[in-house]
């Protein structure tokens, strides 16, 4: 699959918005950023099913630890 700006933009719902009939433009600062549909889906699933503090001895906390470990591994591989 070839990467194109159009393909990337399609993954971000916020980028399809229009304001006064013109495409919205986002200049996000350190306070936040737009996320792709895939990230939004994963976050919604996690928050709806587990959402627990790390270090507990209960199921949702153990899942949180696993999710954090997977995230760290993904970032490590990316870097």
Q: What is the pLDDT of residues 28-51, one digit of tens each?
A: 666 778 889 999 999 999 999 999
Query: 2-11, 17-26, 69-78: which has the highest mean pLDDT?
Result: 69-78
Q: What is the pLDDT of residues 64-76, one digit of tens each?
A: 999 999 999 999 9
Residue 66 domain boundaries: 54-79
Q: Please indicate, yes or no, if residue 7 is contained in any of the structural domains.
A: no
Q: Please indicate, yes or no, if residue 20 is contained in any of the structural domains.
A: no
Q: Please indicate, yes or no, if residue 72 is contained in any of the structural domains.
A: yes
Q: Please indicate, yes or no, if residue 59 is contained in any of the structural domains.
A: yes
Distance CA 52, CA 46 (A): 9
Structural domains in the chain (count): 1
Distance CA 37, CA 4 (A): 17
**What is the pLDDT, as a whole number, of residue 32?**
75
Of 66, 37, 32, 36, the residue nearest 49 (C-alpha): 66
**What is the pLDDT, as a whole number, of residue 14?**
84
Q: Please indicate, yes or no, if residue 70 is contained in any of the structural domains.
A: yes
**What is the pLDDT, as a whole number, of residue 30?**
62
Q: Please indicate, yes or no, if residue 3 is contained in any of the structural domains.
A: no
Q: Please indicate, yes or no, if residue 69 is contained in any of the structural domains.
A: yes
pTM higher than 0.75: no
Percent of the residues in the chain that have a pLDDT greater than 70, as a whole number:
96
Q: Please indicate, yes or no, if residue 62 is contained in any of the structural domains.
A: yes
């Amino acid at each position: 699959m070839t990467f194109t700006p159009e393909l990337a933009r399609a993954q971000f719902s916020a980028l399809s918005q229009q304001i006064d009939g013109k495409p919205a433009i986002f200049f996000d600062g350190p306070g936040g950023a737009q996320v792709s549909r895939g990230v939004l889906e994963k976050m919604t699933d996690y928050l709806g099913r587990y959402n627990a503090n790390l270090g507990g001895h209960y199921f949702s906390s153990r899942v949180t630890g696993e999710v954090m470990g997977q995230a760290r591994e993904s970032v490590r591989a990316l870097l």
